[in-house]
Every structure is written in structure tokens, then in C-alpha cells.
Structure 1
Amino acid sequence: MQEENVNSFLENLKQKVKNQNNYGGKTEINKAQINVRNCPNCGAGRAKQDGVTHCSYCGFEFINTKLTDGVYIKKEDNSI
């Protein structure tokens, strides 16, 4: 009787392993890629990242940002 319980327990475990799903869903298979952008001023290559505003070699400005008053954040007043 003890051996039957062990066998049925092992069979139940094996069945649960076969039926379980991966955490986070199914794995997506994509082709390898590199996100690179060249500086239009000097041609230096850099990794394309959000938030990078200037070329580290020549100083060319990729993104011109100006701060304005927001709901929670106010631009600094340096005249005080």
C-alpha cells in the first residue's frame, strides 16, 4: 500500500510538471538587433537611448529640451 501511494504521488508530480505554464507567459523569439544612431555632425556611433541629448564626442545637441511649469514640478527661478 505504501509503495502505491509513492508511485501515485510521483505520477501526480510528473503530470503537474507537464501541465504547468511558464511564469510571465510564452517566450517570444525575436531576431537579434542593435539600436545604434550616428551623430549627424561628427558621425560618431552611440547606443540609441532615451534621454541622451548630446553627442559625447562633439557636443552636438540631438534633443533640445525646455522646461515649462508642470502640474507638480515648477521650473526653477534663478533670479532670487
Structure 2
Amino acid sequence: MNPEEKPLSFVERMKQRAVNQQNYGGTATPTEAGTVQAACPNCGAGRTKDDGLTKCGYCGHVFIHTELTDGKYIQKEDNSL
């Protein structure tokens, strides 16, 4: 065996695999940084910090309607007590 053709060490093989590795999700597409402003479709106002993403703080328009149902680990509270 020629000394110049010695087998690769474990670390060298790992480095080689890392360089040749392909991304599972494919290549990333570059996008420019920016801000996305969400406005109320009812009154056009920007969303307020206090009310979050569920309703408009100015006109009361509901963006996301949620209804809690009994789940496997979390169940509705019984307010009749």
C-alpha cells in the first residue's frame, strides 16, 4: 500500500460526509427582509398588541373564532360549581 493512499480516518470521513450531504427540504430560496402589516378587513385598522390575533381592538371584528371542546387531556371547565 502506498503511504500517500492511506485510508481516511473517522474524522476525515465525517467531514467528507458533511460536505457532500444534501438538504432534506431542498434548497432554500432567499427572500428580502420586510414587515407584514395585518389590517382588519372590517375597519382597516392595524391589529393592536392588547387583543392579539383573535379580534380587532377597534371595531371588535373577530379574526379567529375558537371553540373549546373536550380533549383527551384538557377538558372544558365546569363553571356551575
2:13 maps to: none
Structure 2 spans left out of the alignment, 5+ residues: 1-28
Structure 1 spans left out of the alignment, 5+ residues: 1-27
Segments of 4+ in structure 1 off by > 6 A? none
Shift of 1:46: 2.9
1:52 maps to: 53
Q: Is the CA contact 2:47–2:53 (under 8 Å) kept in the aligned structure 1?
A: no
1:33 and 1:46 map into 2 onto residues whose CA distance is 17
Query: CA offsets, 1:39-67, max 9 Å, x none?
Result: 011100238xxx61011111111011000
Q: What is the 5 A alignment of 1:1-80?
A: 30-46=31-47, 52-80=53-81
Q: TM-score if structure 1 supplies the norm length?
A: 0.52
Root-mean-square deviation (CA, aligned residues, Å) is 2.2
Q: Which amino acid aligns with 2:77?
A: E
2:9 maps to: none
Identity %: 58
